[in-house]
Amino acid sequence: MSQQLVIDAHRFVRESRNLEGSLELLELPRLHDLVTQVAGKVQYRLKGVSGERGQPRLHLEVSGVLPLICQRCLATVEEELEIDSLLELVPEGSEPTQEELEDDSLDFLPVAGALDVRALIEDEILLALPVAPRHEACGLPSDTEAGERPHPFAALAGLKGKLN
């Protein structure tokens, strides 16, 4: 595994720094149950920017392809990731105003000190994934592929007349 990615978020923004690279899916353990294989990687770019009133913000872009499990046929479905998030840094425990809550153009990220970039990327990926990934068109196995199975209540139907 690579080294831990931890930054001082407020300093990162003050200095308008950039951080980019790639992460192996193996390094993102919360995704392991959602993918069919842990091979592959995602690319990321993190920029420290200031808002129009000087608010500290992080601009995060993540891209890649994840091999998810189709919820219809249980085969692999390739999910194209294109995440573009603008995260405004706020002190931990602070409550956003109603105006801020209504602004859909950005999200708030409570930060007290150090920020784990790998965890942030993993969080944003988890939020961007579809609830039930599936192919555009896929089918269930037909009866001939599944084999002929007797109806589960067929044996009960035979007992129906004998009990009276």
Q: What is the pTM of this model?
A: 0.76
Confidence at residue 81, expressed as pLDDT on a 0 to 100 scale? 93
Note whether residue 86 is domain-resident.
yes
In a domain, 35, yes or no: yes
pLDDT in tens, 98-155: 777 777 777 888 888 889 999 999 999 999 999 888 888 876 555 445 556 667 777 7
- The reported pLDDT for the residue numbered 144 is 45
**Confidence grade of residue 42 (pLDDT, cut at 50, 70, 90):** very high
| Position 114 in a domain | yes
1: pLDDT confidence band, cut at 50, 70 and 90?
Answer: very low
Q: Is residue 1 part of a domain?
A: no
Q: How many domains does the chain have?
A: 1
Tell me the mean pLDDT in the region 64-89.
91
Whose CA is closest to 121, among 66, 44, 9, 40?
44
156/43 Cα distance (integer angstroms): 58
In a domain, 164, yes or no: no
In a domain, residue 51? The reply is yes
Q: Residue 112 domain-assigned?
A: yes
Tokens 């153009």 -> residue:
105
Q: Is 164 exposed, middle or buried (0-12, 13-18, 19+ CB in 10 A)?
A: exposed
Q: Which domain holds residue 112?
A: 6-159
Helix (H, G, I), strand (E, B) or coil at 121: helix
Q: What is the mean pLDDT of residues 19-29?
A: 93
Residue 95 pLDDT: 78
- Asked if the structure places residue 107 within a domain, the reply is yes
